[in-house]
Amino acid sequence: MPEQRRIALIVNPSAGGGRANRAVPAVEAAFEAAGISHTVERTRSLEHARELATGAAARGEVAVAFGGDGLVGAVAGALRGTDGVLGVLPGGRGNDFARVLGIPLEPVAACSVLTTGVERALDLGEAGGRPFVGVASCGFDSDCNRIANETRIVRGNLVYVYAALRGLVHWRAARFRLELDGQSVFELVGYNVVAANSKAYGGGMYIAPDASLEDGMLDVLTIAEMPKLRFLRLLPTVFRGRHVRRAEVTVRRARELRVSADRPFTMYADGDPIAKLPVIVRAVPRAVRVIVPV
């Protein structure tokens, strides 16, 4: 990393049940040992995180998001189309953006990427005009994300499995209407509509195993209606991306997706609510510069 590069560490103190906040002293020690000039700011909200990222970019500092994927998406969105540079230290529950990029999932180990990594221009997604870095989805996932965000019983990655099991009990199939790139229109009765900028979500679930952060496209995945027991057996295969072999799973690619449904759904992206249906989801090519492993 060039000598003049300085770090603005943007910390979500509540990420991962306080994991990121507890790790700040060790991260600062790693920076100091490497001779990295840095400041530390703790966020009060995602909007505050965006303000901190904008300020860091204006000062020529690397805006390092230390929290979950929601924080990474907020910081990336603030840097979109600027000369600002994004760094990532995983401190949330899922940390899927770091996982896909090959960044170590232990925060102190991940500090080494900030010193030895290279900058790459990566795509963002945008749903309802709001940016995200990973995966946007709706339908069954809407229920699961809400349950995962509300629960205090289960911690870590297991919260997503818990949420899926609870959500499945009361789930009934929805009818979705999809329009891809303003041309291909089709309807689906089933579980989910997924617009993937990246490969993984939910703490290591490779929902779109062939998605790329550098192709300017979304992988649009749908899961059609099937018996709940069969869907339950499908879930473990998502962790290795093998679900895409099933007949009920379809993957298409598009620059833009319009999706609506026969009942209200909230679309979630990077673990947070991002838009109500109907919504337009777009790929934003080469939108932000990110420090990634060599």
The catalytic residue positions are 272
User: CA torsion 80→82→85→88, rounded to 10°?
Assistant: -20
Quick one: tokens of 285? 């090519």
Report, in angstroms and rounded to the nearest whole number, the Rg of the chain calculated over CA atoms: 19
Quick one: tokens of 28? 């600062």
SS3 state at 288: strand
Buried b (16+ CB within 10 A) or exposed e, 236-254: ebbbebebbebeebebbbb
User: At CB < 8 A and 24+ separation, what contacts does 186-190 make?
Assistant: 188/222, 188/224, 189/224, 189/225, 190/139, 190/222, 190/223, 190/224, 190/225, 190/226, 190/248
Whether the Cβ atoms of residue 168 and residue 231 lie closer than 8 Å to each other: yes
Quick one: tokens of 274? 């991002």
